[in-house]
Amino acid sequence: MIWLLVIGLVLHLLNLVRLAIPRESSQLNVVANLVNAAALVCGLTFSLTALLDYHRLEYRFELPATGDVVIGFDGLSLFFLFTFQLLSLAASLYAIDHLRAYSGRGSSVRTHLWFFTLLLLALQLLVVTQNALVFLVIWELMALGAYFAIVFDTDKPEVRRGGFWYLAATHASALLLYICFITLRELTGSWNFEDFARRAAYDPKVLALILLTGFTGFAVKAGFMPFHVWLPNAHPAAPTHVSSLLSAINIKAGIYGIARLTVLLPALNAAYGWGLLTLSLVTAVLGVWYALAQHDIKRLLAYHSVENIGIIGLGLGIALLGRSYARPELVVLGFGGALLHTLNHAIFKGLLFFGAGNVYSEAHSANIEKMGGFARVIPLTGATFLIGAISICGLPPFNGFVSEFLLYKGLFRASDLLTGYAAIASLFAIVGLAFMGGLALACFAKLYGIVFLGHNRSGIASGKQSEPMLSGVALVGLAVLCTLLGVYPAAGLRLVAPALEQLPGTGQAPVGWASPLGKLQIIYLLFLTLFFVTCGLKLWLQWVNGVRIRETWSCGYAQVSSRMQYTASGFAEELVKLGRPMLAFSVNWKSLRTILPSEATFASRCLDRMEEGWLLVNRGVGIFFGGLRWIQSANIRDCVLYLFAAVFFYLLCALVW
């Protein structure tokens, strides 16, 4: 079946070639995206069949400078390949309608599509490469594609700024990864992952260097706190199909990296597991808390991605602990939960971003305070967004519940199998997971309630329905997947199973580790039956007793306007207040001060403490190097002196060693 994937990759390449030819055509957008979609359908067929009928595939060939290059399709690679292709397909379909509005922009659309295709190609190649050097090259290509795809509306300053955040973060991440992989190469003498895995023991100090650089590098990409700051800046800047890709799968490249590293390295000291667990909990709780305070729909979703990365990290943390304490069950539950949540999050976050994009093109604003009542204007988006919102809160019967259930189970088992303080710590992690569940519920109740329900707050709902067909296909497809993976947990578990098989430390994966999820359908069927009976009874009673439509009861007040509805800030304010001092608002308030009325304005913005921290660090770095600038602007004689000093220094070094 590998030829299907090859066809897919060739189609991507052909697309790149066509888009490089400077010949504009009005149908370019449609054709390019459809070719991408066709390529992804081929690739998806390959990865799905390979996952269902799993056996390891491997292809080797020589490249100068890198030695043996292995393109390997193991369980982990295939799983991520499947996830990436699935969401890329949805984004390609969505992009057709989204980019149609820009068809007058000529070459900028062509350039954008070129880099978008590059991003899709790089994402697929990244996960199948089993060679560190090639991996790094593709990693850079992916960053390049993503950066230029983000900066589409280059005339907006916030887009340039958001793009720059992405570029800076991705460079920092790449730098750390270079250190990590070069160290591994020095130790093992090979760039291949399989040779890394073959080495049984590492010097603890070197291992610490590898882990810290590797984990941090991938954590920057994934968006763990405090490295998450690029997400809420880059996501609103990008066009919708790109921001959905960024959030749904690009950050998962970081998760893939962490997962790959844990597979490659031997069992670690438990401190690493606890460290990852703590970091993930902090990331998840603060991420959702920041999300609660946002008014910008894409920024809010970006912070929610940070939360979900925390949840995935929680699973990886459990798996690490399971390996260090030699508890195969924990490894399976943690790793399985984390991987499944990766897929699930990709699906519902893609869905939510597409929905947000439709809302944006309807409202021409990302500020949710101006929205309301969109469930009536764009009903399909309203219904699918609701499914996405329920899924992301981890509520049954959708897919978010399945992966969160596995994580709960893993933590419960951890408090069971581990002794001493570890048991109590896992209980606290359980409670933390429940707490962020409550916050996520509040956040999505706010988002859905304010954006889709009630009346429109500013009259910006144009009433013209902008739910193009292909975006509808993407939305409905993802919503169906949310339901399917939720109601049939076995389907998702089947996709994860090959990755778990190859996992070191699982020993033999305990049979029936996910068995409680076995026949969850019975409960859902019971629920559905009861629901239909109740609805039937309700409809019958209403048919007998009658239904009337009247305006909302407002305690007798007659002059109700849509501006009197509860606002998003009002809804979240009390909860946000609890999060001080991590959550602060910058308030810009020009109030009435004089007797005669003058113009009054009010604007508030949630400050991200960590963003401020990074900016402060940047400023410090800038000042430090600014202080060294005199060296650079010296006259020629000084420069010769520096050269001489440098040569002298090297000679001295050579002499001493």
Q: Which of residues 509-568 bind another protein (CB under 8 A)?
A: 515-516, 518-520, 522-523, 526-527, 530-531, 534-535, 537-538, 541-542, 545-555, 562, 564-566
**Residues contacting another protein: total by CB under 8 A:** 79
Q: Minimal distance in Å, beta carbon 364 to another protein? A: 22
Q: CB 381 → another protein: shortest distance, Å?
A: 13
**DSSP bridge pairs for 606:** 585
CA distance 171 to 136: 12
Is the CB of 445 or the CB of 460 nearer to another protein? 445
| CB distance 478 to 384 below 8 Å | yes
Least separation, in Å, of the C-beta of 448 and another protein?
Answer: 6
Choose between 75 and 287: whose C-beta lies nearer to another protein.
287
Distance of CA 443 to the CA centre of its chain: 17
Interaction with another protein in 83-122: which residues (CB under 8 A)? none
Residues 370-409 close enough to bind another protein by CB under 8 A:
372-373, 375-376, 386, 390, 393-396, 401, 405, 408-409
Beta carbon nearer to another protein, 89 or 514: 514
Q: Which is nearer to another protein, 164 or 524 (CB)?
A: 524
Residue among 115 and 401 whose Cβ is closer to another protein: 401
Q: How far is the CB of 277 from another protein (least distance, A)?
A: 16
Angle at CA 302, nearest 5°, toward 297 and 303? 100
Task: Find the binding residues for another protein in span 480-519 (CB under 8 A).
Answer: 515-516, 518-519
Distance CA 247, CA 302 (A): 7
571-600 residues in contact with another protein (CB under 8 A) are 571-575, 578
Between 41 and 427, whose beta carbon lies closer to another protein? 427
Burial 109-121 (b: 16+ CB within 10 A, else e): bbbbbbbbbbbbb
- For the bound state, the minimum distance from the C-beta of residue 385 to another protein, rounded and expressed in Å, comes to 12
Distances (CA, A) of 316 to 223, 340, 431: 15, 11, 18
Nearer to another protein, 47 or 280 (CB): 280
* Interior/surface letters 195-224, b for 16+ CB within 10 angstroms, e for the rest: bbbeeeebeeeebeebbebbbbbbbbbbbb
Angle, alpha carbons 204-209-215 (nearest 5°): 115
Footprint of another protein on 299-338 (CB under 8 A)? none
646: number of CA atoms within 13 Å, CB side?
Answer: 6
175 vs 423 by CB, closer to another protein: 423
Count CB-CB contacts under 10 A for residue 267.
17
Residues 6+ apart with CB under 8 A from 648: none
Distance (Å, rounded) from C-alpha 283 to C-alpha 227? 10
- For the bound state, the minimum distance from the C-beta of residue 563 to another protein, rounded and expressed in Å, comes to 10
Q: CB under 8 Å to 282, separation ≥6 — which residues? A: 225, 310
Comparison of 326 and 535: residue with beta carbon closer to another protein: 535
Binders in 441-470 for another protein, by CB under 8 A:
441-442, 444-446, 448-450, 453-455
Does 267 contact another protein by CB under 8 A? no
CB of 111 to another protein, least distance (A): 42
Q: Write down the least CB distance from residue 496 to another protein, Å.
A: 18
Write the interaction track for another protein spanning residues 407-436; mark x where CB under 8 A is met and - where it is not.
-xx--x--xx---x--xx-xx--xx--xx-
Q: How many CA atoms lie within 13 A of 228 on its CB side?
A: 30
Phi and psi at 468, nearest 5°, equal: -65, 160
